[in-house]
Structure 1
Amino acid sequence: MLTDKQPDSARLLILIGPTASGKTKLSLEIAKTYQCEIISGDSMQVYRGMDIGTAKASPEERRAVVHHMIDIHDPDEPFSAAEFQERGSRLIAEITARGRLPFVVGGTGLYVESLAYGYQFSDAGSDEEFRAEQELFLRQHGAHALHDKLRAVDPVTAERLHPNDSRRIIRALEVHHLTGQTLSSQLAGQKKRSPYDICIVGLTMDRQLLYKRIEERIDQMLDAGLVEEVASLRSQGYSDELVSMQGLGYKEICACLRKELTLEEAVTLLKRNTRRFAKRQLSWFRHMKDIHWVDVTDTDQFDKHLRLINGIIEEKLINKTPQQ
Structure 2
Amino acid sequence: MAFRSAVGSKLPLVIIMGATGTGKTKLSLELAQKFQTEIISADSMQVYKGLDVVTAKASPAERELVRHHLVDVLEPHQRFTVVDFRNRTLKIIQELTDKGKVPIIAGGTSYYIESIVFHNLVEGEDNSDELLWDKSIRKREIDAAGPSADEPACKKAANSPEDNDNGVQVTNDPITIEITDEFDQERVKYEMDHEHLLTNEQIHRRLMTIDPVQADKLHHNNRRKVLRSIEVWQKTGRRHSDILEEQKLTEGLLRRPGATVMLWLKCEESVLEERLDARVADMMEKGLVKELLDFHDTYNKQRLKNGTEADYTKGVFQSLGFKEFHKYLIMGEEQRQTEEGQKLLHECIEAMKLGTKRFARRQTKNIVPWFLERDRRHREVPAIYELDATDLSEWDTQVKGKAIHIIQSYLNQDPCPFYLARSRPKEDEAKPNPFGKHHCEVCQKIIIGDNEMKIHLNSNKHKKTLQRRKLEENTETIHRSKDN
User: Aligned equivalents of 1:137 and 1:46: distance in 2?
Assistant: 25
Name the structure with the higher helix share: 1
Structure 2 gap segments, 5+ residues each: 125-135, 140-154, 169-221, 233-239, 304-309, 332-340, 372-380, 416-484
1: CA distance between counterparts of 2:327 and 2:158?
21
Q: Which residue of 2 aligns with 1:280?
A: 362
Contact persistence 1:85–1:118 (CA under 8 A):
no
1:139 to 2:162 alignment: yes
Residue aligned with 1:139, SS: coil
Q: Which residue in the other structure is 2:213 paired with?
A: none
Q: Which residue of 2 aligns with 1:243?
A: 315
SS in 2 for 1:280: helix
What TM-score does the superposition give when structure 2 sets the normalisation length?
A: 0.53
Distance 1:172 1:188 in 2: 23
- In the TM superposition, residue 172 of structure 1 has moved relative to its aligned partner by 5.5
> Is residue 2:407 matched to residue 1:313?
yes
CA contact (8 A) 2:2 2:94 kept: no
Deviation per residue, 1:156-181 (Å, 9 max, x gap):
xxxxxxxxxxxxx9746766899679
Which amino acid in 1 is paired with 2:345? L
Q: Using the alignment, how far apart are the partners of 1:126 and 1:51 within structure 2?
A: 32
The match for 1:228 is: 290
Bigger shift: residues 305-314 or 103-112? 305-314
The equivalent of 2:275 in structure 1 is 213
Q: Offset at 1:237?
A: 2.9
Deviations 1:226-251 (A, max 9, x none): 11111111222346425311221222
Look up the SS of the partner of 1:21 in the other structure. Answer: coil
SS in structure 2 at match of 1:29: helix
1:5 deviates by 9.8
Between 259-268 and 291-300, the greater mean CA deviation after superposition? 259-268
In 1, Cα distance between equivalents of 2:273 and 2:226: 32
The structural deviation recorded for 1:56 is 0.4
Distance 1:202 1:171 in 2: 34
Greater mean deviation of Cα atoms: 270-279 or 259-268: 259-268
Specify whether residues 321 and 297 from structure 1 end up closer, same or farther in structure 2 by C-alpha distance, changes over 3 A only: closer
279 and 133 in structure 1: CA distance in 2 versus 1, 3 angstrom threshold: farther
- Give the whole-Å Cα distance in 2 for the aligned partners of 1:3 and 1:96: 10
Q: For 1:5 and 1:95, how far apart are their aligned partners in 2?
A: 9
Instruction: Pick one of 288, 302, 308 that aligns with 2:395.
Output: 302
Q: Partner of 1:193: helix, strand, or coil?
A: coil
Matched AA of 2:404: N
- 1:8-157 to structure 2, matched below 5 A, reads 8-121=9-122, 138-139=161-162
Identity %: 31
Higher relative contact order (CA 8 A, sep 6+): 1
8 A contact 2:41–2:69 mirrored in 1? yes
Q: Distance in 2 between matches of 1:188 and 1:246?
A: 34
Structure showing greater Rg: 2
Q: Deviations over 1:80-118 (max 9, x none)?
A: 111000000000011122222110011100001111224
The separation in 2 between residues aligned to 1:188 and 1:146, in whole angstroms, is 33
Equivalents in 2 of 1:249, 1:79: separation in Å? Answer: 20
Following superposition, the deviation at residue 8 of structure 1 comes to 4.9
When residues 8 and 23 of structure 1 are mapped into structure 2, their CA distance, relative to the original with a 3 A threshold, is: same
Q: 1:138 to 1:235 in 2, by over 3 A?
A: closer
Q: CA 1:32–1:136 in structure 2 vs 1: closer, same or farther (change >3 Å)?
A: closer
Secondary structure of the structure 1 residue equivalent to 2:406 = helix
**RMSD between aligned alpha carbons?**
3.6
1:156: which partner in 2? none
User: In the alignment, does 2:325 pair up with 1:253?
Assistant: yes
Offset of 1:214 from its aligned partner?
1.1
Q: Please report how far the alpha carbon of residue 286 of structure 1 lies from its aligned counterpart in structure 2 after TM superposition.
A: 1.4
* Inter-CA distance 134–18: structure 2 relative to 1 (3 Å threshold): farther
**Cα distance, 1:255 vs structure 2:** 3.3
Change (3 A) 1:173 1:279: farther
Letter in 2 for 1:39: I
* Contact 1:45–1:69 (CA under 8 A) maintained in structure 2: yes
Give how far 1:264 is off: 1.5
C-alpha contact 1:52 1:229 (8 A) present in aligned 2: yes
Q: Distance in 2 between matches of 1:15 and 1:25?
A: 10
Go from structure 1 to structure 2 and tell me whether the alpha carbon gap of 1:3 and 1:63 turns closer, same or farther (over 3 Å shift): closer
Q: Is the 8 A contact 1:211 1:275 kept in 2?
A: yes
Q: C-alpha offsets along residues 202-235 of structure 1, whole Å, 9 cap, x if unaligned?
A: 1001011111111111111111111111111122
- 2:162 aligned counterpart, secondary structure: helix
TM-score (norm 1): 0.77
Name structure 1 gaps, 5 residues minimum: 148-168
Q: What is the aligned residue count?
A: 292
Asked if the contact 1:18/1:203 (under 8 Å) is kept, the reply is yes
Q: Does the CA contact (< 8 Å) of 2:3 and 2:11 recur in 1?
A: no
Tell me the distance in 2 between the aligned counterparts of 1:313 and 1:20: 23
Distance in 2 of aligned mates of 1:104 and 1:110: 13
Q: How far apart, in 2, do the equivalents of 1:189 and 1:249 lie?
A: 39
